[in-house]
Amino acid sequence: MWANRKCFRRGLVAATVAAVLGLTAAACAGSDGDSGAVSGTGGDSSPVTIRFMSYNYGTPCCGAGTQQLIDEFQKANPNIKIAPEAVAAADVLTKLRTETAAGSPPDVAQLGWSKAGEARSTLPLVPVQDIPSAAEWKAGTDGIYPNILKAVSNPETGKNDIMPFSISVPIIYYNADVFRAAGLDPDKPPTTLAEVKTAAAAITKSGKQGVYFAVADPGKSDYMTQSVMNSAGGGEVDASGAVTVDSPRSVAGLNAIRDLVVGGLQPKVTATDAQAAFAGGNIGMMIFTTAAMATFEKSAAGKFDLRTAAFPSFDDAKARPTYSGAGLAVFSKDKHKQQAAWKFIQFLTSPQGFTILTKTIGYLPLRPAIVSDPAYLGDYFKQNKHLLPSLGQIDDVTPYTYFRGKRANQAVVLLQDEAVTPIVLQGADPAAVLGTAADKIRSLAQ
């Protein structure tokens, strides 16, 4: 379970000095005392309201944490009011288009990474890196994982037009009590897909459902699809931008998941239904986003021994999970609101912000120095080690890749609905459905 801990610690030591310096600078740049004044507006401290569209706000898993972030920010910045608006993750892009066309987009939006490519091509977002001065930007981002900042930057400009915020890496959740009942050692969780399959077979024989890879995501996100294809040596898009979902290795990745389904080791249900089944102690393993951490911890408390392990490798190759979650995009054209939005974003991605985000939801803290700092998450991680496997893989995370063109999100939905879902829910032939889907996706970019 802790095979990556040594690697993680080496990376953490290297990053800590830079991170601490960055945190100090960010703290100075991110606050103007109790006045609530917005930096970079010529001393303008007049009250301002920021509309914040969020798919976490108001939800059972993430609503309380999101509200806490808003409350803490407003407490420190009384002249900036945050007006949160809930929206389903799958509907963010549609609502942004509608409100932009009506001339009333939100000032800040939590934008899922699967939606970012199309948003960059079709919506007038304000590059967040262009709002503060270069010095303020450096102060606000020093200490954040450099590879994450680079991974989520705009591939055409190299700038961070969207700020990384709620990042998660898929993880193996497993029920140690189910492992014991199946004759498995919970202190030796699977590290490869072959070991996952072996463990799932033992669990199935014991009367529980074996495993669930959450590729059939009702949120229409393809982070797990990418993680599976990447780890099998394939991918959705190659370096030139060509669609490769039907390449032999990409097909092999989803075929491995199909084998689990047709072999009776993975139930034919959506990720939503599997999440409920795992929380109820009826599935032995679930490979899913860390954003479900707080929900699973609450469900398991006093009922079963919840543990975690790193995303498994495929065919003896190195695991290559990609990230899910969202960034923060700015749409306001008002300069004063833009500065207030930057200040809000600074807080959400500050040591305090990431501490709240990690403790209340399970998103990864993108500032490595706070992991061991007792002022932030040091004591938390001494008591709760569930996120450590994903943190151990964060240096090796594979960047999210986008389909080309202005209908990139439509391509993702097509892939998930017409290929991935039939493969994992009906046992459809991966080569056939991925081939058909690939042709349709290529036509969307024309």
What digits encode the pLDDT tens for the residues 93-144? 999 999 999 999 999 999 998 899 889 989 999 999 999 999 999 999 999 9
Instruction: Give the pLDDT mean for 225-232.
Output: 96
pLDDT digits (tens, 9 = 90+) for 35-59: 233 333 345 679 999 999 999 999 9
Residue 39 pLDDT = 39
pLDDT > 60? residue 404: yes
pLDDT of residue 30: 31
Pairwise CA distance, residues 319 & 331, whole Å: 36
If asked whether residues 283 and 185 sit together in one domain, one would say yes
The candidate with the shortest Cα–Cα distance to 50, out of 88, 93, 79, is 79
DSSP letters spanning 264-290: TSS-S--HHHHHHHHHTT-EEEEEE-G
Q: Say yes or no: 162 and 194 in one domain.
A: no
Instruction: Read off the pLDDT band of 27 (50, 70, 90).
Output: very low
Per-residue pLDDT band at 217 (split at 50, 70, 90) = confident
Considering the domain architecture, whether residues 343 and 381 belong to the same structural domain is answered as yes
Q: Say yes or no: 83 and 61 in one domain.
A: yes
| Within a domain: 2 | no
Interval 154-168 mean pLDDT: 93
pLDDT at 260 over 70: yes
Q: What percent of the chain has pLDDT over 70?
A: 90
- Please give the tally of structural domains in the chain: 2
Q: What pLDDT shows up at residue 89?
A: 87
Contact by Cβ (8 Å): 47, 15: no
Write the DSSP assignment of 91-154 as a string of letters.
GHHHHHHHHHHTT---SEEEEEHHHHHHHHHHS-PBPGGGSS-HHHHHHHHTTS-HHHHHHTS-
Q: Do residues 168 and 328 touch, judged by C-beta distance below 8 A?
A: no
pLDDT of residue 366: 95
Residues 111 and 259 in one domain: no
Q: What percent of the chain stands above pLDDT 90?
A: 77
Provide mean pLDDT across the span 370-386: 96
420 and 367 in a single domain? The answer is: no
User: Is residue 152 one of the residues assigned to a domain?
Assistant: yes
pLDDT-wise least confident of 166-180, 185-199, 206-220: 206-220
DSSP 8-state secondary structure symbol assigned to residue 86: E
Asked if residue 17 is part of any domain, the answer here is: no
Q: Within a domain: residue 288?
A: yes
- Give the C-alpha separation, 336 to 244, whole Å: 44
Q: pLDDT tens across 410-432, in order?
A: 999 999 999 999 999 989 999 99
Owning domain of residue 60: 23-167+324-396
In a domain, 424, yes or no: yes
